[in-house]
Structure 1
Amino acid sequence: MRLRMYVEDRQRLWPGQHYLIRLRAPDDYTAQRSYSVASDDSDPLVEFLVEKLPGGEVSEFLADVAEVGDVFELRGPIGRWFTWDTRTPALCVVGGTGVVPAVAMTRAARRSGQPGLVRVLAVGRSEEELPYVDELRRAGAVTAFTRSPSSGRPPGPPTAAELMPLLDGVEVVYVCGSSRFAQLGEALLMECGVPVDRIRVEQFGATG
């Protein structure tokens, strides 16, 4: 589910940053979760992708209960390490809901008139389960699906041979997804000879 929110007194938003959304009950009990931002800084609203998780206090509320006009506590934008400066040629190796920062980066690149600055390798279980797949493809993303074929490509994780052509001229690589996906992405990049100091990783996992 895509959630778009108006944020009062918003600071400049850099592609790759996230917000902390906090819910507060009448008895002052709180639950919170971090969500990466999909929108570009020029968008008047801040866009999040909410994956409804079984037993997820925040995601279930946002998906099933929240209504237009509700007010939430937000903290952000947060993050510096994983942000893109909108100038450096970059590659995003992203999986599942980890595509969200890549969406923000491609939108920022398109707004600046330099869409070629950001390349994307997006991985999902199937085309139907990969968020933003149509938008990413319009931005030139290469897609790979682990459980279904696509455009003559057999099911399976991406390979170093598929990744190598995307690295030409790239100065920084962003890897985002589950911990398992992050390990795969790092291993492929190192196999391709990418220096460790050019790889930035953000992992999604359970929140406390």
Structure 2
Amino acid sequence: MSGAEEAGSFDPGGTGATAWTTGRIITKDLPAPHLVRLRMHVEDRQRHWPGQHYLIRLRAPDDYTAQRSYSLASDDSDPLVEFLVERLPDGEVSEFLADEAEVGDVLELRGPIGRWFRWDTYTPSVCLVGGTGVVPAVSMIRAARHHGRSDQLRVMAVARRPDELPYADELARFGATIAYTREGDDGRPPGPPTADELAPLLDGAELAYVCGSARFARFAEDLLLSSGLDPQAIRVEKFGVTG
């Protein structure tokens, strides 16, 4: 399917509001002590753009509910939707997903959501992502490979140490630039990414996607602006503890 056909034949996660549905956990694993990866079959699933997210809602027997937003790691061609969730201290939803949810459980979901932070798979773009903020970039990588457009996407991923970077092997296979701030790697000294490292990734890019903690997002946006990128070309998604 060509880019024009994609844009013209359907609008995944587009103008219509998505309804609540259910998803069954098909696989669950813990890639790190603070992370849980879920792959789910979603009833009445709508097509999605890479970069979009879902709401996951938990419901207690007394009908108390708690919900949180989680980015998709899967691309639209995957028969299952994939989430990578960071287990946050006192996080009602993330703690349940990490500690109590089991394969076969059915959860309430709504999505895909997001008209701003999504990639159309053909606009030349760069991702500057940190920590678990790599998740939407992984969805973009998978979509780029599926559609044969890997040349339209460049990724820089940042983490403190190699064992703290989710999807590190997949990012490396794609050719992402990886910067570790606390440990050196492959001859690169530890430290945040620099403008010189970012410059070749920005060459020809029309959009930049930033995802990570609020602190990382501020740093990344400032780095992009100081590198001369138009502010209107920067799309930022921040994550963290919510009330």
Shorter-chain TM-score above 0.5: yes
Shift of 1:193: 0.4
Whether 1:92 aligns to 2:123 is no
Q: State percent identity of aligned pairs.
A: 73
The code of the aligned residue for 2:132 comes to T
Shift of 1:98: 0.4
Query: How far does the alpha carbon of each residue in 1:122-177 deviate from its partner, in whole angstroms, 9 at most, with x for none?
Result: 00011100000110110110000111111111111111111111111111100110
Output the CA distance in 1 between the equivalents of 2:109 and 2:149. Answer: 31
Output the CA distance in 2 between the equivalents of 1:66 and 1:117. Answer: 37
Residue 210 of structure 2 aligns with which residue? 175
1:185 corresponds, among 209, 213, 220, to: 220
Shift of 1:54: 1.7
Output the CA distance in 1 between the equivalents of 2:198 and 2:232. Answer: 18
Structure 1, unpaired ranges of 5+ = none
Residue 171 of structure 2 aligns with which residue? 136
Output the CA distance in 1 between the equivalents of 2:239 and 2:57. Answer: 18
2:116 corresponds, among 62, 81, 92, to: 81
> Which ranges of 4 or more aligned residues in structure 1 deviate by more than 2 Å?
none
Output the CA distance in 2 between the equivalents of 1:198 and 1:50. Answer: 28
The code of the aligned residue for 1:166 comes to L
Output the CA distance in 2 between the equivalents of 1:171 and 1:194. Answer: 9
Q: Matched residue of 2:106: which SS? A: coil
The code of the aligned residue for 1:11 comes to Q
Residue 87 of structure 2 aligns with which residue? 52
2:140 corresponds, among 102, 105, 111, to: 105
Q: Matched residue of 2:235: which SS? A: strand
Residue 27 of structure 1 aligns with which residue? 62
TM-score, length-normalised on structure 1?
0.98
Whether 1:124 aligns to 2:175 is no
Residue 232 of structure 2 aligns with which residue? 197
Structure 2, unpaired ranges of 5+ = 1-35
Output the CA distance in 2 between the equivalents of 1:150 and 1:2. Answer: 26
Shift of 1:205: 2.0
Query: Which structure is higher in strand share?
Result: 2
The code of the aligned residue for 2:115 comes to R
Q: Matched residue of 1:72: which SS? A: strand
Paired residues, what number?
A: 208
2:194 corresponds, among 159, 178, 202, to: 159
Output the CA distance in 2 between the equivalents of 1:166 and 1:146. Answer: 19
Output the CA distance in 1 between the equivalents of 2:184 and 2:81. Answer: 34
